[in-house]
Structure 1
């Protein structure tokens, strides 16, 4: 799209504030910019005079292409906002020059893909690509290892990168609601720094079995996957930091008994499911009643199962189980130099408590 001088000057540039506030008019340092403020050469050169800006804001300008001058030192840009435009692509050459980018906001455009050169953004911490038409991420995104916050809501994603849990280990928040995801990569369970995971309004059929490594996860939202999600993994009871869980409007009939171990859980949404266990009369009394019911159910239901009884004993020993009808157990596996569950909450040790291992025919605790 061709732009006249005034449109070029409407680009907002601010190196004094890392965060931007939007007002009715496009402003720089609190003053409106008009074409009379610049000489003819400045009008045609756009932002060429601004060579060392750290924050560049091109949002809500109805742009079809990016009018960024070749004289702008993109290596100095730390925050780029090109949201709310009509962009269908981001040039490979542009992303490759944003070497010190920390925050990139491209939400509400017409993007179908991200450039492969996004892998050059090794310092990127916040990426917002929501409200586009993206179907998948380029493999090179695994090089954005500083990434902490990924927002890809309202796209057409069918998969996430297989290596997301092995490469993007600093992720603290993933928001991928309103997409077409069928499953989450198994590597997701290795994101030990993850605090917030939102996968509602997708087509999720199951969650990874080994969730126990998500030791810092506080908020999990898997609601509104409707007829697709029928059960939750047993390991959900080992999410020791979980505070908020939303599984509403799915097809879940039974909550895992292990949810009785979620001591920190204070907000639980289960409406819109054909629940049988716990029954409605328990659900209506709230989250604490549900936890107590699941705790008692786990204690009683497994009295005749040595393997599962042993697992319950370990949960009690390490402070994650609050059952009230516990019968005497045989001595479980004792770690050298006994430590609480907080001390064991690492990928090295938490794998030992994987239900898949503990409930398998072969004991993984024998020597």
Structure 2
């Protein structure tokens, strides 16, 4: 096996191969032949699936500077060196089915990266630096131990496909709604209790999968015309009718912690705090430097963050909302999608900015 490996690498050097396949070679260590002398400076794609590697060499980028794709699926890699960030041309990195417990912040220096696959590892968090990957199109972190996603993900402006299945997520950052290129979002088998109010507002987002989140009872009504997967969501309250059924359904719909007031159809006055936030937001949107011209604003950081990323936008009139929402429920079993999702009792929820919008909103309008 060693002689065969040596011959494969020797031929790659001699013939200046751009692709090198070292899959299923029973490798415990990264082959030193790849790192001798000048290395394989012309190599663009290196495939090392199903070996027993536990780490990568610190001088990988120095010896293989033109790597575009690094495929390390199914090894025993526990840690990747900080020097990984020196692979300036890398576009695809696959570390699925390894033993990663930590993703180093230096991965944020891979500015050419388009596809990052980290499924089936032991990751408990992602570094905020992942938001520096502005060319990233695919991120797969399914089958890990993530309890949250970094808010900085909204800076991955090219992200099209985000897969976070089989983790421990209880919520999704509302900032993800600002990923205007996102086409598919898969969050099956987590612990979600609610989804961001604006999820689905982007026309580009067409596929949302939230299967087997048993505490998830509501989907934002923006998702009504999307392809959704929600079997296994919600609990059965069939047979409960009238006012009691409505009260229970209201209690079952989870809302973000920032929601301070849940309005009803009878409320005619929006709280002063909400009106102030809407006014500040309007100034900020029309004149980004406008807030600097005002006296110092004494608001908690959470509210200041809301000025940049509102809690949501009214499903009726698109007014930004910050501390109050008027939810209106449309049980999925009463909609046109009932036949597709027979096993779920989840509802679509329209989040409105006022009692007027609440009264006049129609899911199919």
Normalising by the smaller structure, the TM-score range is: 0.5 to 0.7
Work out the CA distance in 2 between the residues paired with 1:4 and 1:185.
43
In the alignment, is residue 157 of structure 1 matched against residue 119 of structure 2?
A: no
Task: Please name the residue that 1:62 is paired with.
Answer: 26
In the alignment, is residue 209 of structure 1 matched against residue 207 of structure 2?
A: no
Of 139, 142, 149, the residue aligned with 1:174 is 139
Task: Please name the residue that 2:359 is paired with.
Answer: none
The 1:48/1:232 distance shift into structure 2, 3 A limit, reads closer
1:237-276 superposed matches below 5 A:
237-256=200-219, 259-262=220-223, 265=226, 267-275=227-235
Taking structure 1 as the reference length, the TM-score comes to: 0.64
Structure 1, unaligned stretches of length 5 or more? Answer: 12-45, 281-293, 295-299, 312-332, 337-349, 362-367
| Larger strand fraction of residues | 2
Task: Please name the residue that 2:99 is paired with.
Answer: 133
Task: Please name the residue that 1:96 is paired with.
Answer: 62
Quote the offset at 1:10 in angstroms: 4.5
In the alignment, is residue 8 of structure 1 matched against residue 6 of structure 2?
A: yes
Work out the CA distance in 2 between the residues paired with 1:139 and 1:128.
17
Work out the CA distance in 2 between the residues paired with 1:189 and 1:203.
20
Task: Please name the residue that 1:358 is paired with.
Answer: 321
The 1:230/1:135 distance shift into structure 2, 3 A limit, reads same
In the alignment, is residue 121 of structure 1 matched against residue 81 of structure 2?
A: no
Cα deviations by residue, 1:256-281 (Å, 9 ceiling, x for unpaired): 4xx3224751x21111122469x79x
The 1:230/1:262 distance shift into structure 2, 3 A limit, reads closer
Cα deviations by residue, 1:65-104 (Å, 9 ceiling, x for unpaired): 2334214643211111111111111111223322221111
Taking structure 2 as the reference length, the TM-score comes to: 0.65
Quote the offset at 1:62 in angstroms: 0.9
Cα deviations by residue, 1:237-261 (Å, 9 ceiling, x for unpaired): 42331111111111334314xx322
In the alignment, is residue 145 of structure 1 matched against residue 111 of structure 2?
A: yes
Structure 2, unaligned stretches of length 5 or more? Answer: 240-252, 254-262, 275-281, 287-306, 314-319, 325-365
Task: Please name the residue that 2:151 is paired with.
Answer: 186
Work out the CA distance in 1 between the residues paired with 2:173 and 2:17.
43
In the alignment, is residue 50 of structure 1 matched against residue 11 of structure 2?
A: no
Quote the offset at 1:119 in angstroms: 0.5
Cα deviations by residue, 1:90-134 (Å, 9 ceiling, x for unpaired): 111223322221111011001001121111011111110000000
CA contact (8 A) 1:212 1:351 kept: no
The 1:48/1:149 distance shift into structure 2, 3 A limit, reads closer
CA contact (8 A) 1:124 1:144 kept: yes
Provide the aligned C-alpha RMSD in A: 3.3
Instruction: Give the structure, 1 or 2, with the largest relative contact order (CA under 8 Å, sep 6 or more).
Output: 2
Of 220, 245, 250, the residue aligned with 2:185 is 220
Which stretch has the larger CA shift, 202-211 or 124-133?
202-211
Work out the CA distance in 2 between the residues paired with 1:264 and 1:102.
38
CA contact (8 A) 1:122 1:145 kept: yes
Work out the CA distance in 2 between the residues paired with 1:49 and 1:78.
13
SS of equivalent to 1:192 = coil
The 1:190/1:94 distance shift into structure 2, 3 A limit, reads closer
The 1:108/1:306 distance shift into structure 2, 3 A limit, reads farther
SS of equivalent to 1:238 = coil
CA contact (8 A) 1:175 1:198 kept: yes
